[in-house]
Amino acid sequence: MPELHVSVGHHRGSFSLDAAFTVARWPALLFGPSGAGKSTLLRIVAGLDRPDTGRIALDNHVLTDTQQHSFHKAGSGVVQLVSQRSALFPHLSVRDNVAFGIHRLLPEEQRARVDEMLTLLGAAHLADRKIDRLSGGERQRVALARALAPGPQLLLLDEAFTGLDGAAKQEILCELTELLARRHVVALHVTHEVADAFAIEAEVFLMRQGRIVAQGPAQDVLASEREQMLKVLG
């Protein structure tokens, strides 16, 4: 699996982002409180925003290099972003939503790719449904299928499973873990929920005030957060 190397600086108003880290395996979670800069960092990696300084690369494939004035375009296919709001097209069927990002393929290739992605994500039976007839978990499966259809090298998940019940979320995360490993896709999942990290035994990058302050297994990096959560629960 390729490695994601990130070293960027970004300043807006009173907020300062200065983050450097390497993602070498999945599951990898970017964890931190609201306002830590998680979504800002993910938007920069996705190519939606440009950093003031820094470099982002997948192994030797440079995505962004401010010194060279080189910036990759969001939605290029190499990097795919899935957020809490799945941004699916309600007037299209599930099949047409998944096919949206692979219109350059021949029709028969499109059909085969869509069928493959929906099957991999346990959503083949939804192919002809409209989006407004799907549950929250089904929508996220379709959003993942659409993101993976172009064959990205990097998948970014921005609070993508917030709002799903615990069982549905854990099922999708476990299935996604196996799928990404098979397809050699680098992934980074942004979350503020401690349970997510422990459920999939993730490598955690802990972010506070725009900086990565710790990295390691969830049981090490998030031990104090888990204790606080258990106290609140009871």
Residue 155 has pLDDT above 80, yes or no: yes
Q: What is the DSSP letter of 47?
A: T
pLDDT value for 227: 57
Q: Is 69 left (phi over 0), alpha (psi -120 to 50) or beta?
A: left
User: Average pLDDT, stretch 137-151?
Assistant: 91
Cβ neighbours of residue 100 closer than 8 Å, sequence gap 6 or more: 89, 92, 146
Which residues are CB-contacts of 166 (< 8 A; sequence separation ≥ 6)? 195
Give the pair of three-digit tokens for residue 216.
């390691």
Summarised one tens digit per residue, pLDDT across range 1-58 is: 789 999 999 999 999 999 999 998 878 999 998 899 999 999 999 999 999 999 999 9
Query: Which distant-in-sequence residues (6+ apart) come within 8 Å of 160 by Cβ?
Result: 82, 83, 84, 140, 143, 144, 189
d(CA 125, CA 123): 5
Return mean pLDDT, the chain: 88
pLDDT tens per residue, range 60-107: 899 999 999 999 887 778 899 998 777 899 989 999 999 988 988 999
**pTM for the complete prediction?**
0.88
